[in-house]
Chains A and B, each alone.
Chain A
Amino acid sequence: MGKLTIGTFSSLVGSLSLDFSVKLAEAAVKKGHKVDFWMSGNATMLAKKGQKAFKDYSFLAKPIQELIATGNFQICACEACAEARGYHKEDCPDGFIRKSMDWYLASTFDADRVLHIGGD
């Protein structure tokens, strides 16, 4: 099995690319791979506690917690991007990491595959 690093900049709810990357991560973990999931820009909105689920609305908080529970999935928000948007350490959901982009870079260096998904 291998390691997939996914970096995404897409908005929560506003862009389906973030949903795609979470579903791809789910499929990869299910196949026995490890996944590192990096969020920059508007994707850091996913690293915000207290998101609410609405019918027919994208709600990624739950699948993310299930992925974290597998132990084969790490999720990290860009600290600068989050702070720039007013999200502080205490706003971060359980199991999320907050680092500078060095974390993403290091993750890509020992990944078997890297998928970078740009802005919205």
Chain B
Amino acid sequence: MKLAVLMSDYRNGIDMIDRLSAESLGIILVGNGVYHAAVKEGGKTSSLLDKKANFYALTEDFETRGITAANLDSRVKAVNYGDVVDIIFNDYEKVVWI
């Protein structure tokens, strides 16, 4: 199954991702989840980005938090709401919210 995960939190939920099994996984960072795309702790990027998945971050949410597209980790693609709709409908079969 192709699964899209809307990750809305920075501190919680990574362990849940480990328990999901999907043929293809897309992780869409929204809300405070966008911090995964740009914040480093102890010089290290978020362990979420080490998962085998396609990563996207919602532009409106990271820009609201003072992050620019240039700050995003290279593994993460900036998307807008319209893109999220297309991703949900065209690239994945199910979508969950964490």
Q: Hey, which bits of chain A sit against chain B, CB under 8 A? A: 2, 4, 16-17, 20, 23-24, 26-28, 30-31, 33, 112-118
Contact = CB atoms under 8 A, between A and B. Distances in A.
B6 interface: yes
Given A27-B82, A116-B97, A117-B97, A4 B8 contact: no
B30 interface: yes
- Rank and list the top 9 A-B pairs by shortest CB-CB distance, nearest first: A27-B81, A117-B97, A28-B85, A27-B85, A27-B82, A115-B95, A31-B85, A23-B81, A113-B88
Interface residues of B, number: 17
Nearest to A115: B95
A20 B95 contact: no
A94 B3 CA distance: 36
Contacts of A113: 88-89, 94-95
B50 interface: no
B85 A33 contact: yes
Contacts of A20: 8, 30-31
Nearest to B64: A16
A27 B84 CA distance: 9
B84 A24 contact: yes
A69 B17 CA distance: 38
Contact of A115 (B31, B80, B82, B97): B97
A24 B6 CA distance: 12
A17 B30 CA distance: 9
A63 B82 CA distance: 16
B86 interface: yes
B95 A17 contact: no
A25 to B, nearest CB: 9
A115 B81 contact: no
A28 B81 CA distance: 8
B85 A24 contact: yes
